[in-house]
Structure 1
Amino acid sequence: MANYGVIDLGSNSVRLVIFDVKDGISKKKPITCKDFRSIINDKVMAGLSAYVEAGEFTQEGIARAVGVLSGHLKRARYFNCVRTDIFATAVLRNCTNSRKAIRAIEEAIGAPVNLLSARDEAHLSFTGASCDRTIEKGTVVDLGGGSTELIRVEEGRDFDDVSIGQGSLSSYAGYVEFVMPQADEVEAIERAFLDQVAKTPVDLKKYRAETLYGVGGSARAAAKLYAQMTGESCRPKTLTPEHFDALLDLLENNPSKFAHLAARAVPERIHTVGPGCVILSTLMQKLDARKLEICKRGVREGYLIERMLGNAPCSRVKAQ
């Protein structure tokens, strides 16, 4: 067995996952979740998208990222990882000074930061989501803090992807005054998201599917919150439009109860779970979906499988 460290530098959280990988994995057959297990899953809610001002990632944001990454790298060394990789997504990909910000972070921590393109992020999310299940047809939805990625799946392969420039944390930062969004703020988040959808360069009709596959913390948070609301002992594996209607009705009619339930179910996401539910509900309506399957695994597992265990080259997008 060997340990591999993956650090996901996201818009909302910066997460270190230490994977314990079986010896003798063959590259001639697909790597599945049976070939590895996570032994450490350490998340810091850094809120890095809040450090983007006028399109630039600020010095304060760089300092915040450096502090969190340094701690994660120290923990990874404790586990004697044979390899530890850092990858970044929308928060650094979309800022106007990404090249400068990444260079400053790399110099401070003494390690490279791999900036994933939107296409790479989408593909790796599909790879991770499908390592414990067969996804033959549908749309994978990766709702992050700063963006929402859609991946079209046909005959077990991912083809098209689109990145919508709004996520759960950016929705909170842009449209919510206090902790819980009020009714008018919910409407503002939905309108803004639909405006972002309208700006996408592709026709979303080809992403319409009866089944969506939810990747990322926002989808899992919605399932945990629904379980808390209904008194279920385990989060549901699937959410429907009716489930989201119930959650959003509670948010609108009893925001205090919604907040208390969120504080118990997902305390680290208490401010973003509401906006996340709005976006997921809006997407289900837009894509005529009848169910959202909650995926346990995603981009970090996909990165491990393809970029580390598969020895695929770690492509870097051109930073600005």
Structure 2
Amino acid sequence: MKCGIVDLGSNTIRLSIYHWEGRQFKLLMNKKEMAGLAGYIRDGVLSDRGILVACQVLAGFKALLENFDIRDIHVFATASLRNIVNTEDAVDTIRSVTGLPVEVVSGSDEAAFSFLGATVGGGAPATGLLADIGGGSTELVSYENGIITSGCSLPMGSLSLFTKHVSGLFPTREERRAMRDEVKAELDRAKTAGGHSAHLTGVGGTIRAAAKLCNDLSGADQSNRVIPAGEIRALYKDLKKGDQATLRQILRIVPDRVHTILPGLAILNAVLKSYEVETVLVSTCGVREGYLLRRVMGVNGHE
């Protein structure tokens, strides 16, 4: 069977097409649109323009799926629609315009989907810490032997931090300090385990982009998915310069992250420091695979 899973995120809207049978699945195609919905939020309200952007992207994805004769379409939204005051209006408008219902998942469900995708589909270790840094929220999950021991969803992400604090393309020293203070306050408020984890499994665009940049700097193959925490800290320190060489590197390796990579790294670095992380494994699977496993395939865990 084939289906399309659409992740309506704060920074990107992603379509993944899967073929699945029984308890096995295979990714057939990925498509991404940098919609930047968090940038259309003012005073907690997603503007009509932002809703229209979401409708346009979803209508395009729906047409693409219909061209492939795929009618099984599942759309879910994370912080993009969860953390606004006009959630119901946005969902109703999207459905009336595109014909697609949208499930707005809670922060705890998002964390559970990311965990399920990374551990069942992505080969994450049986015990450790998982971080999913998105555009509008960050999910942290501590787990032992495949079972979640604690988890939280923090209302901050790479794009929401950028939109809230940064006036230009790169944050100034004062803007970086404001972001760092917000990230520290959120982590202090919602510390999941109180201990440390030598290994972090990373999900989301920020962590994938950080790995690409680290691999480029170290000369490692771009398929390398294990990054020493020290390399990520050094990357953040290097990118903070904001000079022409920095800009060129970002535009060459991760051009669509040029404005969100530093805010995203501010979150990632704070997590690495808070939990005394030594190595980061970039998961091949995440929230969309978790949604597929739970909602479409009916898998609840390590079955």
Q: TM-score, normalised on structure 2?
A: 0.93
Compute the displacement of 1:235 (Å).
4.8
What are the Cα deviations for residues 50-87 of structure 1, in whole angstroms up to 9, with x where unaligned? 11110111111111111111101111111222511000
Compute the displacement of 1:186 (Å).
2.2
For residues 284 and 311 of structure 1, the distance between their equivalents in structure 2, rounded to whole angstroms, comes to 31
For residues 172 and 230 of structure 2, the distance between their equivalents in structure 1, rounded to whole angstroms, comes to 20
Superposition map of 1:269-280 within 5 A: 269-280=257-268
Aligned residue for 1:122?
Answer: 111
Q: Which amino acid aligns with 2:98?
A: I
**Which of residues 70, 75, 91 is equivalent to 1:102?**
91
Contact 2:129/2:142, CA 8 A, preserved across alignment? yes
Aligned residue for 2:19?
Answer: 20
Contact 1:148/1:166, CA 8 A, preserved across alignment? yes
For residues 173 and 77 of structure 2, the distance between their equivalents in structure 1, rounded to whole angstroms, comes to 33
**Which of residues 251, 254, 260 is equivalent to 2:239?**
251
Q: Which amino acid aligns with 2:273?
A: Q
Compute the displacement of 1:259 (Å).
1.5
Aligned residue for 1:112?
Answer: 101
Greater shift, 189-198 or 119-128, is seen at 189-198
**Which of residues 180, 191, 196 is equivalent to 2:170?**
180
Contact 2:141/2:192, CA 8 A, preserved across alignment? no
For residues 207 and 90 of structure 1, the distance between their equivalents in structure 2, rounded to whole angstroms, comes to 27
Unaligned runs of 5+ in 1: 26-30, 313-320
Aligned residue for 1:68?
Answer: 57
Matched, 1:310 2:298: yes
Matched, 1:195 2:180: no
Matched, 1:169 2:159: yes
Aligned residue for 1:241?
Answer: 229
What are the Cα deviations for residues 81-124 of structure 1, in whole angstroms up to 9, with x where unaligned? 25110000011111111112111111111121011111111111
Aligned residue for 1:294?
Answer: 282
What SS is found at the alignment partner of 1:260? helix
Contact 2:40/2:49, CA 8 A, preserved across alignment? yes
For residues 160 and 72 of structure 1, the distance between their equivalents in structure 2, rounded to whole angstroms, comes to 35
Contact 1:215/1:294, CA 8 A, preserved across alignment? yes
Q: TM-score, normalised on structure 1?
A: 0.88
Aligned residue for 2:10?
Answer: 11
Contact 2:139/2:152, CA 8 A, preserved across alignment? yes
Compute the displacement of 1:181 (Å).
2.3
For residues 279 and 220 of structure 2, the distance between their equivalents in structure 1, rounded to whole angstroms, comes to 19
For residues 180 and 202 of structure 2, the distance between their equivalents in structure 1, rounded to whole angstroms, comes to 18
Aligned length: 299
Unaligned runs of 5+ in 2: none
For residues 193 and 161 of structure 1, the distance between their equivalents in structure 2, rounded to whole angstroms, comes to 17
Q: Which amino acid aligns with 2:97?
A: A
